[in-house]
Amino acid sequence: MADNKTKQDGRDDSKIDANDSSEVAYAAKQFGVTSAEIKAAIEAVGNSRAAVKKHLGGK
């Protein structure tokens, strides 16, 4: 069965869920840093993907 693109599950791609290890790992790979650095950045600036990227120096 094909994916129904009109149904959304409520996830927000602009945020990083620090409690979801796969999401943290994905963000770490995306920004070229470790998962620990992602978690530290979330602690420092919150879970906004843009704020984390800025905190990490735009990596």
pLDDT digits (tens, 9 = 90+) for 13-56: 889 999 999 999 999 999 999 999 999 999 999 999 999 999 99
Residue 1 scores a pLDDT above 70: no
The pLDDT value recorded for residue 13 is 81
Decide: 49 and 16 in contact? Cβ < 8 Å.
Answer: yes
Decide: 13 and 35 in contact? Cβ < 8 Å.
Answer: no
The pLDDT value recorded for residue 10 is 59
Q: What are phi and psi of 44, to 5 degrees?
A: -80, -40
* Whole-angstrom Cα Rg for the chain: 13
The pLDDT value recorded for residue 26 is 93
Q: Is 41 exposed, middle or buried (0-12, 13-18, 19+ CB in 10 A)?
A: buried
**DSSP helix/strand/coil, 10:** coil
Grade residue 3 by pLDDT with cuts at 50, 70 and 90.
low
